[in-house]
Structure 1
Amino acid sequence: MIRTFNRLHVLLGLGLACIALALASPSAHAEPTKERILREGKIVIGVHNRAPWGYRDEATGQATGWHPDLLKAAFSELGVEEIDIRVTEFGALIPGLLAGRFDAVGSGLSITPERCQQVAFGAPDLKERDAALVLPGNPKNIHGYKDILENNDVIMGAGRGSVVVRKALAEGIPSERMLLFPDIQSNVAALRTGRVDAVLLSLPTVLGLMRDGAVPDVEPADPFVTTDEQATFTSVAFRQDDEDLKALYNERFMALKEDGTVARIMAKYGFGEEEMVSEGITTERLCSATKDEAAQ
């Protein structure tokens, strides 16, 4: 009797252990992201709240911007009507995506080989050049990366995790002459107080700031020369485990290009032919290419 009881006790313990392991396993009950989005009719995206990329419209409270508008157009015909945004600083976008705080990043991320190691980028959707904010009159005469490199007195500011830092380093600008900040406001404050001599950003970001009057007492360096080789390409970013979601988005994005929707959204935010992505530029090529190869 005791032996039988002990055997039952052992079997019961093993059964409970198996159940506990099954419940603890992420794959046991995890619903694929794509299926959840289609079922709920909602996609959660991370933005850094900056025009024209991805931000909350203060008048309506709704998500708007280049990438939110693309995502709305791509998924609305599939019954996904709600774009729920999570605002964070630029450098926290990829970590937030990987931590599961949102389903995609729709906020002007440029495709780089380094970022491709962490996330799965959708199709490239916009070609972007760089720009610089300077004090009125551009006292240090900054008109490109070369001017920053050749003037040892120039300190540049940029956002943490931004692609302009990678470009500046590639052009030979030492990291000791860079100050990195979590957001644009901190960069502009450093420019006004003389801690930096120029703030490097993407051209669409600078144009958005000027249009909104968000940065008084500074101006764009005119011109700020960037070559084709220095241009980058933006895209929506997904987790690498969500390849099916990325594939669905890419399918819809190509359809939107063919029916003219992408061109209309580009025009809404002031983008034109110079920002169009040529046929030869692909995510695979940008993920594997060096800086010089990507724009050829």
Structure 2
Amino acid sequence: MKFRARSAVIGLACIAYAAIVGSVLPASAETTKERILKEGRIVIGIHNRAPWGYKKEGTGELLGWHPDLLRAAFADLGVKQVDFEVTEFGALIPGLMAGRFDAVASGLSITPQRCQQVAFGAPDLRSDDAAIVLAGNPKAIHSYADLARKPDTIMGGGRGSNVIGNAIAEGVPENRILQFPDVETNLAALRAGRIDAAVFSSPTVIGLLAGNKSPDLERASPFTTSEKSISYIAIAFRKDDGDLRDLYNQGLAKVMSNGTIATIMAKYGFGPTENVPPGLTTSQLCGATN
């Protein structure tokens, strides 16, 4: 009898303990995807640069390739509010990792190095290197080879951008490459005669020269590069948010198949050369690390 009574007491104590522990232990953490679907809101980091994502002067309206693409991709997924936070380009991935944004969308090229840090969505745009020169292209610059073989030419590129490595790989001496923190200082150096060509991604050049806002400048056409200079652009998510990335990819696939993406491309001056080849995947571009 004593044994049975003791067993009963122990059993009741265990039940009580389990109830107490169950009441204090937190429920499983809500994922980013679950929060976004519940709130119908996602926050995207951009760096205020046409054509990627920028605030329209005068109205403050958020425009750009990626804002339009994201709104279209998430519209049928129940995410009606797509908010954007502006930061410097170099702060995009650190801000994503710190939880400031749910994703970043500002012309990020898919590279194996970045694939170690973030989970890229499907590629949405093809990009090559392009050069802006003074009107009339006085130094007749039409390739990295021209920049390499003409000792009196100097090029400018964005600090940390792909174009720096591409130029060096094609023979442009490092001592004839100036690196700038932003587009404005790069173009100012071109206008001041400090450099002879400002090199960016082709979509960036399209955005900068749209609407003939800079009649003193022009795109060097053609500007021949190697296949290694071609890159592909995508939205970046945290590695832990692979399910959110997959959800976005579902929406993007629909946007690509129903013709919406062609409309958005035309709006920002993109043509067939900016199309992503059918069947090209993020895994292929990352080297299967994504």
TM-score, normalised via structure 2 length = 0.83
User: What is the alpha-carbon distance in structure 2 between the residues aligned to residue 163 and residue 81 of structure 1?
Assistant: 34
Give ranges in structure 2 of 5+ residues lacking alignment.
Answer: 1-20
User: What is the alpha-carbon distance in structure 1 between the residues aligned to residue 46 and residue 95 of structure 2?
Assistant: 10
2:261 alignment counterpart: 262
| 2:228 paired with 1:239 | no
2:30 alignment counterpart: 31
Residues 239-264 of structure 1, C-alpha deviations (whole Å, 9 max, x = no match): 11111110111111112222222222
1:68 alignment counterpart: 67
User: What is the alpha-carbon distance in structure 2 between the residues aligned to residue 90 and residue 199 of structure 1?
Assistant: 18
162-171 or 71-80, which moves further after superposition? 162-171
Distance 1:225 1:100, change over 3 A: same
Q: How far is the alpha carbon of 1:284 from its aligned partner? A: 0.9
TM-score, normalised via structure 1 length = 0.82
Residues 252-280 of structure 1, C-alpha deviations (whole Å, 9 max, x = no match): 11122222222222222222322211123
Alignment of 1:36-51 (within 5 A): 36-51=35-50
Give ranges in structure 1 of 5+ residues lacking alignment.
Answer: 1-18, 290-296
Give the letter aligned to residue 203 of structure 1.
S
User: What is the alpha-carbon distance in structure 2 between the residues aligned to residue 47 and residue 112 of structure 1?
Assistant: 19
Give the letter aligned to residue 120 of structure 2.
F
| 2:101 paired with 1:102 | yes
1:93 alignment counterpart: 92
SS in 1 for 2:239: coil
2:12 alignment counterpart: none
SS in 2 for 1:243: helix
Alignment of 1:216-227 (within 5 A): 216-227=215-226
When the two chains are superposed, the root-mean-square deviation of aligned CA atoms in Å is 2.4
Larger radius of gyration: 2
Identity of aligned residues (%): 61
User: What is the alpha-carbon distance in structure 1 between the residues aligned to residue 149 and residue 31 of structure 2?
Assistant: 51
* Contact 1:91–1:182, Cα closer than 8 Å, also in 2: no
User: What is the alpha-carbon distance in structure 2 between the residues aligned to residue 84 and residue 279 of structure 1?
Assistant: 30
User: Size of the alignment, in residue pairs?
Assistant: 266
* Contact 2:206–2:269, Cα closer than 8 Å, also in 1: no
Residues 109-143 of structure 1, C-alpha deviations (whole Å, 9 max, x = no match): 11111211211111011112221111233232211
User: What is the alpha-carbon distance in structure 2 between the residues aligned to residue 28 and residue 168 of structure 1?
Assistant: 52
Distance 1:275 1:231, change over 3 A: same
118-127 or 136-145, which moves further after superposition? 136-145
SS in 2 for 1:137: coil
SS in 1 for 2:225: coil
